[in-house]
Amino acid sequence: MSEHDLDVAILGAGTAGMTAYRQARKYTGRVALIDGGTLGTTCARVGCMPSKLLIAAANARHEAQQAGPFGLEVGDVGVDGRAVMKRVREERDRFVGFVRDALEGFDQSNIIRQNARFADNNTLVLEDGSKLTARATVIATGSRPHIPEPFEVAGDRLITNDDLFDREDLPASVAVFGAGVIGLELGQALHRLGVRVRLFELGDNVGAITDPDMRACAQEVLGAGFPALWNAETEIDRDGDEIVVTWTAGGKRGEERFDYILAATGRRPNLDRLGLENTTVEVNDHGIPLYDRQSMRAGDCPIYIAGDAAADLPLLHEAADEGRIAGENAAHFPESYRKTRRVPLSIVFSDPQIAVAGESHADLTARDAAFRIGSVWFEDQGRARVMRVNQGLLRVYGCEKTGLLLGAEMFGPAAEHIGHLLSWVIADHLTVEEILDRPFYHPVIEEGVRTALRNLNTALGFAPPPPARSIDCGPGG
């Protein structure tokens, strides 16, 4: 019998924590899932699913309004904000219910509905003052919205994605701060649903894009679709029930009043109340534990970390992968195994969509990789023009020495699907020539991928330039 109360303690019952629990239970029954907060994953409650519900409503209205050039008669498409938000809440609650059902399926004797903090590497203190010891612990406590200090003046007129989906009606006007994933998706969706929106980005960020040429393209296209300012300097004041934003951007200055501020300025891991200072875990300047992302172990401690708490890639599939690795290793502690991680894939459900597969432009530049670039603009891509979704740019990156496809960034139509396609061929370690040997149907948007790959193959020195123009692909073959 172990000298500890538990073999594995898991802090947090979100995606990473639930996955870690399932994995640890394969090897030991002496496991506790500890969480005193609201049950239901970030994805189901306030993230992926409710945001896609709002986006679906927004895109349905937008597509109807844009049908005129097809020769269709389109009238005004009204918005019943209460009906929109009712469906968002009901479907959101349905998804949360699935998570709760899964938790109810766990052995309830293994679930502790309290929060905990470390007294030392192996000892946890619960809210009721009781203590328990664990041979190994997995931190999977998730994250919460980061609220910059200047926003505090907004008081009850400040909302985050954690608040938005509980509303019974759409707001009349919102100042959205941040052009990351949350800001772009929610800002554009609210605009398309008739909310007066202006997005403010203090830097030049656009979702997950790191390629400078693509970032410039995305700023231009998105800025033409709804009011958005990059590299903005802002001052925020409150006047009664109104938020006053004074801004300077692009050599212009303006002032606008809004009902609310939507803070989409990132999320911070829930680590500050865990008592990490009582452990031997080393942390960086932001208080994040230093850990090996192949094993999820923090140094040589009996402590592992997974999901949003790790502040690495705040994506559901990454949280599940990290939970699986951390749960298995915690159950085997003191043995700890390093696992190969999947090819990175991130998607932003803006319109046009954004996808980054494999190594990004920034990744390759940071490691001083010898790579070449192939591009395609979608303006004249055949199928994209047919559907009137012909905006955006795809850039693919190949290794100069081997001809392998290393990564890609995309701002354009069907990026959520093309991102998967590219991540799969990168995972299979295919060269650009080998990918070009795969079938490409006509007419499909994926023919644009072929154009980019042909241009990359030329840049790598493996083929002559493609035809100047082809009816299936537009310029570049």
Q: Are residues 247 and 324 in the same domain?
A: no
Reading the chain (477 residues) residue by residue, the pLDDT tens digits are: 468 999 999 999 999 999 999 999 999 999 999 999 887 777 877 788 999 999 999 999 999 999 999 999 887 899 999 999 999 999 998 988 888 888 888 999 999 999 999 999 999 999 999 999 999 999 999 999 999 999 999 999 999 988 999 999 999 999 999 999 999 999 999 999 999 999 999 999 999 999 999 999 999 999 999 999 999 999 999 999 999 999 999 899 999 999 999 999 989 999 999 999 999 999 999 899 999 999 999 999 999 999 999 988 888 889 999 999 999 999 999 998 999 999 999 999 999 999 999 999 999 999 999 999 999 999 999 999 999 999 999 999 999 999 999 999 999 999 999 999 999 999 999 999 999 999 999 999 999 999 999 999 999 999 998 876 654 444 444
Q: Are residues 28 and 139 in the same domain?
A: yes
Q: Are residues 140 and 20 in the same domain?
A: yes
Q: Are residues 79 and 206 in the same domain?
A: no
What's the number of domains the chain is made of? 3
Q: Are residues 37 and 131 in the same domain?
A: yes
Q: Are residues 134 and 274 in the same domain?
A: yes
- Which of 267, 277, 274, 340 lies closest to 305 in space, CA to CA? 274
241, 265, 289 - which closes a domain: 265
Q: Are residues 63 and 162 in the same domain?
A: no
Q: Is position 237 within any domain?
A: yes
Q: Is position 228 within any domain?
A: yes
Q: Is position 184 within any domain?
A: yes
Q: Residue 444 sits in a domain of what CATH number?
A: 3.30.390.30
Q: Are residues 388 and 468 in the same domain?
A: yes
Q: Residue 76's domain spans which residues?
A: 6-145+268-332
Q: Are residues 191 and 160 in the same domain?
A: yes
Q: Is position 110 within any domain?
A: yes
Q: Are residues 212 and 88 in the same domain?
A: no
Q: Are residues 200 and 256 in the same domain?
A: yes
Q: Are residues 14 and 71 in the same domain?
A: yes
Q: Is position 459 within any domain?
A: yes
Q: Is position 1 within any domain?
A: no
